[in-house]
Amino acid sequence: MQILYCVDRYLASRTGDVKKLKPPLTGFRLRCGDYRVFFDLKTDGAIEITAVRHRKEAYS
């Protein structure tokens, strides 16, 4: 539920701990406690979630 809350809050107000990923990774990451939500921004303002991973496994 924590992940859904973070994503919903980001979609509603564009607030949250979001950073653009550096190469070789693409897109953005949203930090939700111990989890990271990786996503791409679409031209219409929507997001496409590409992965949700625990922080220990997120970048390996």
pLDDT tens string, the chain, 60 residues long: the values are 889 999 999 999 998 899 999 999 999 999 999 999 999 999 998 999 999 999 999 887
pLDDT at 56: 93
Q: Which two tokens stand for residue 14?
A: 């564009």
State how beta strands 18-20 and 28-32 pair. antiparallel
Burial of residue 6 (number of CB atoms within 10 Å: 0-12, 13-18, 19+):
buried
pLDDT at 60: 74
pLDDT at 47: 93
Domains defined for the chain, CATH in brackets:
2-54 (3.30.2310.20)
